[in-house]
């Protein structure tokens, strides 16, 4: 019996769904290579941030929740830097981030030092993606 809205029979709907599933599976299989490369680039960038941040935090004597707040600031600055914006827009965004974290009680001089560290971290050319995933991975 035909469906009242589409006019398709049950077998037509079933065939259409089976074709859609096959197409989705094929699309996922084709995308796994790209996703693997992006994941590896993201892990590499996270490791670069960690390797840059840990010695700096150790020299400043930061521990516990304060250390996490400074690390999150560095991650947000790196994320802003890799979003593809530059010039005055990037400066305004970083200034807003610095204001946000200084209101939370972090030392302004330390935040400026972290900005300089963020400019030393190099992302790979193919990893110029939004780094919200990086922020979520780092918080776990």
- 28 versus 133: the higher-pLDDT residue is 28
Q: Is the pLDDT of residue 19 over 60?
A: yes
Q: Is the pLDDT of residue 73 over 90?
A: yes
Residues written for the chain: 140
- 23 versus 48: the higher-pLDDT residue is 48
Confidence of residue 66 (pLDDT cuts 50, 70, 90): very high
Q: How far is Cα 113 from Cα 53, in angstroms, rounded to an integer?
A: 11
Q: Cα torsion for 86, 113, 44, 125, to the nearest 10°?
A: 20
CA 24 vs. chain centroid, Å, equals: 25
pLDDT by residue (tens digit) across 82-135? 877 888 999 999 999 999 999 999 999 999 999 999 988 876 544 444 444 544
Kindly state the average pLDDT of the residues 35-58. Answer: 86
Per the CB < 8 A criterion, the answer to whether 78 and 53 are in contact is no
Kindly report the CA angle at 37 between 42 and 117, in degrees rounded to 5?
25
Residue 130: predicted pLDDT: 47
Q: Which residues contact 44 (CB under 8 A, 6 or more apart)?
A: 124, 127
Judged on CB neighbours under 10 Å (0-12, 13-18, 19+), 114 is buried
Task: Write down all domains in the chain, each with its CATH number in brackets.
Answer: 44-139 (1.20.58)
Look up the pTM and report it. 0.67
How does the average pLDDT of the chain come out, rounded?
80
Q: How far is Cα 122 from Cα 140, in angstroms, rounded to an integer?
A: 23
């Amino acid at each position: 019996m035909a469906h009242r809205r589409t006019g398709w029979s049950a077998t037509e709907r079933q065939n259409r769904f089976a074709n859609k599933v096959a197409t989705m599976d094929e699309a996922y299989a084709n995308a796994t290579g790209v996703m693997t490369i992006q994941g590896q680039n993201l892990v590499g960038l996270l490791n670069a941030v960690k390797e840059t941040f840990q010695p700096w935090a150790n020299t400043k004597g930061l521990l516990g929740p304060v250390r996490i707040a400074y690390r999150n600031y560095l991650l947000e600055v790196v994320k802003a830097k890799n979003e593809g914006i530059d010039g005055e827009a990037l400066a305004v965004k970083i200034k807003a981030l610095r204001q946000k974290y200084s209101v939370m009680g972090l030392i302004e001089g330390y935040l400026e030092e972290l900005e300089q560290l963020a400019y030393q971290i190099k992302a790979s050319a193919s990893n110029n993606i939004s780094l919200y995933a990086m922020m979520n991975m780092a918080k776990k």
